[in-house]
Amino acid sequence: MTDVDGNRYVDLVSSWGPLLLGHAHPEVIAAVQAAVARGTSYGTPTETEVLLGEEIVARTPVDKVRLVSSGTEATMSALRLARGFTGRAKIIKFAGCYHGHVDALLAQAGSGVITLGIPGTPGVTEATTADTIVLPYNDQAAVTAAFAEYGDQIAAVITEASPGNMGVVPPRDNFNAFLAQTCRDNGALFISDEVMTGFRITRSGWYGVDGVQPDLMTFGKVMGGGFPAAAFGGRADVMAHLAPEGSVYQAGTLSGNPIATTAGLTTLRLATDEVYAKIDETSLTIQRLVSTALDKEGVPHVIQAAGNLFSVFFVESSEGPAEIRDFTGANAQVLPRFTAFFHAMLDAGVYLPPSAFEAWFVSAAIDDDALAALESALAPAARAAAAVQD
């Protein structure tokens, strides 16, 4: 990536995930140029929209899929559908999981096992989040307690399939299977948000890893190949409640846009097993380089990965917990150490996600030269992190 001053960077943000193949992949650009030359939007379905939908259905357990333009729209629409289908109001989300800027999902956890939603940003009213129950991630007892108290009012549990928005905090002890079963037992729907993990971790996303069957799923990022395309889908009987077949309204002027679906379809087709294997290998190499550099300077850290997604937690001491399981654990980082590390990396030409609560996104474009540049940036960055006092 080159900035306006001509500085070049190794990019480990990849547009927050979509650019699995790197920037300006020649075949994606050629396909997009051909699509643009035909026309930009028609207000009626196009062939690439249908083909992209079929590709999603083939790779995941969803029976039917509806295309939208952003991950936020996907989760918002999935929640509306879950509420319309069940006739219930409440939803459970987990602290530290991000599902886009849907008002009802911008609720953070307070203390305690069951915390009714407290708006996490000005502009979101308490009424909007009143039906949002926020629970600690990976905490089965908290979920059981919430269902014991509100069971017949809960429309859905929504979770990131493997969270990446509090740093990478994978599900433990079959947490997704537990959520799916608890929802089934209580007549609620299990919504797995694969906007970040979908088509990135494997060709079938996190579903390709744990195989847990959700009632509804949400997708975005990689499926748009760098353009605004996202989707939600799921069980045929649930999706049948969506307008125009059913009565739960959902629509979007540019949904399934032909340029976006062309970029997404081309990206998915180019992402062969070999491409995923290369990205996995590059990701492991980067994790090893980071760990070696931080160890050399005595900087305590924990690296957690979910497939090729990973993040680095700057924990207080090496004697601390070896695993981050939830938002409380993620929050126990020494944030100034991340800040010093991040800026030193940027100064040395490596663009990392500018947050200690974000996954690093590796693309297929990271080659040996990029890895060499990364390795030389890591030495001063590790020293900068080590220089920060608690």
Ligand X SMILES: Cc1ncc(COP(=O)(O)O)c(C=O)c1O
- Contact between 171 and ligand X (CB under 6 A)? no
CB-count exposure of residue 371 (10 Å: 0-12, 13-18, 19+)? middle
CA–CA separation, 292 vs 374, rounded Å? 13
Tell me how far, at minimum, the Cβ of 269 lies from ligand X, in Å.
21
Catalytic residue among 9, 98, 137, 351: 98
- Contact between 225 and ligand X (CB under 6 A)? no
**Which residue's CB is nearer to ligand X, number 16 or number 178?**
16
Tokens of 57: 């259905």
**Which residue's CB is nearer to ligand X, number 233 or number 300?**
233
**Burial letters 303-322, b for 16+ CB under 10 A, else e:** bbbbbbbbbbbbbeeeeeee
CA–CA separation, 189 vs 155, rounded Å? 6
Tell me how far, at minimum, the Cβ of 230 lies from ligand X, in Å.
6
Given 77, 129, 159, 165, the residue binding ligand X (CB under 6 A): 165
Given 22, 53, 71, 96, the residue binding ligand X (CB under 6 A): 71
221: annotated active-site residue: yes
Stretch binding ligand X (CB under 6 A), from 49-57, 85-93, 94-102, 293-301: 94-102
- Contact between 196 and ligand X (CB under 6 A)? yes
Pick out residues in 240-299 that bind ligand X (CB under 6 A). none
- Which sign does the torsion angle of CA 84, 85, 90, 93 carry? negative
Catalytic residue among 64, 90, 93, 221: 221
By beta carbon distance, the residue nearest ligand X is 71
- Contact between 176 and ligand X (CB under 6 A)? no
193: annotated active-site residue: yes
Residue 66's contacts (CB-CB under 8 Å, 6 or more residues apart) are 77, 231, 232, 233, 239, 242, 250, 255
- Contact between 52 and ligand X (CB under 6 A)? no
Given 98, 219, 227, 360, the residue binding ligand X (CB under 6 A): 98
93: annotated active-site residue: no
- Per the listing, tokens 């002027």 go with 253
Name 167's bridge partners: 165
- At position 80, the amino acid (one-letter code) is R
Report the catalytic residues: 98, 193, 221
Which residues bind to ligand X, rule: CB under 6 A? 16, 70-72, 75, 98-100, 160, 165, 193, 195-196, 220, 230
